[in-house]
Structure 1
Amino acid sequence: MGSLFRSEEMTLCQLFLQSEAAYACVSELGELGLVQFRDLNPDVNAFHRKFVNEVRRCDEMERKLRYLEKEIRRDGIPMLEIPGECPEAPQPREMIDLEATFEKLENELREVNQNAEALKRNYLELTELKHILRKTQVFFDEMADPSREEEQVTLLGEEGLMAGGQALKLGYAD
C-alpha cells in the first residue's frame, strides 16, 4: 500500500460511473486508501451538488457520534478503540438504520442528562430546606426554654409572649 506523497509515482485518471454504482465504487476506492479525488466542478455551489443531502446526513450523524463520544468520555466509561482500523462504509440501506439508532441514542442521552440535572437541583433544594428546618428547630427549642424568658420578652414583647406561648411549643421533625 502506498501513500500520497509527491515523490511517489501517480497516475491521473478520470472515472465515469453510473449513478447506481457510484456509492459502492467510491466506498471501495476510499477503503483502499490509494485514491485522491479532484473536484472537476469547483465553481458549483456545495448546495447544488448531486449528493448534498447524503453528505448533510453523514455530517449530522458524525455530529451525533461526537456528542455521544464526548458524553462517554466525560463519564469515564471505557471505549474499545482499535488503532489504524477504519470501518467499512455502510450500504445506503444500512445508513437509514444507523441514522435512526444515532437519533434514538442522542435523544435518550439528552433526556438522561436533563433528568440528572433536575435530580441534582431537587437534591440541593431539599438539602437547603432540611438545613433551614434544623436551624428553626434549634431556634424554637431555645425560645421554649423557660430559663431564656428575658430573651423571649426582648424578641416578642410581653403581649407576644402571652399570646404566642403556644407557638413556641411547635416543633419540626427531620
Structure 2
Amino acid sequence: MSSKNNHTLIGSWIVAAGTVASAINASINANTGDDDEGLNLIGNTLQATGNGVVASDSGSILSASGNIIQAAGNSTIIYSILADLERRDDLNLVIKGNLLQALGGLIGFSETYEADPTLEYAYKLNGELLEVVGNSIQAIAARRELEGMEASHFSALGSWIQAIGAIIVALTITNQEWRRA
C-alpha cells in the first residue's frame, strides 16, 4: 500500500470517527436538553484533522480543495464551540461551518461522480451524498434554532446521516485498499 493510499485510508477513518463523536454528542444533547459540546469539539477536531490528512496526499486539485473546504467548515464549528459568543453568533457560525462542509463534500462528490461507474464508486458516491445531506440538515437545524424553534432532534438526525455517509466512504476506501494489496 502506498503512502498516499495509506493517508487516504487513515484520514477517512479519522473523519468517520469524528462524525460519530459529533453525532453521539448531538443525540445526547437532543435527549437531555444539555448544551455540552465536549464530544462535538472532539468530533469536529477529528473531522478537520482527517480531511487535512486526506487533502495532504490527494491525487487531484478537486479532491484536495474539497477536503480543505470541509476542514475549514469543521474549524469554523470548532471556533463557535471555543469562543465566548452570543448564541446568535454561535448559531451563525454553525450554519456557515456546516454549509462549508457540504460544499466541500459536493466538490468531492462531483469528482467521484466523474469516476468509473463501478460498484465501489457507487458506494462511495452514496456515502459522500449522505455526508452532504447530513451537513445540510444540520445547517437547516441551526437556522431553525436561530429562528427560535426547537431543532435539536433534527440536528441529531443530520449528524447521524453525515456519520453513516462517512462510514460508508471509509469502508469503501478500505475495501479498495485491501483489493490493491
TM-score computed with the length of structure 2 as normaliser: 0.29
TM-score computed with the length of structure 1 as normaliser: 0.30
Larger radius of gyration, structure 1 or 2? 1
User: Greater helix share, 1 or 2?
Assistant: 2
Higher relative CO (Cα under 8 Å, sequence separation at least 6) belongs to: 2
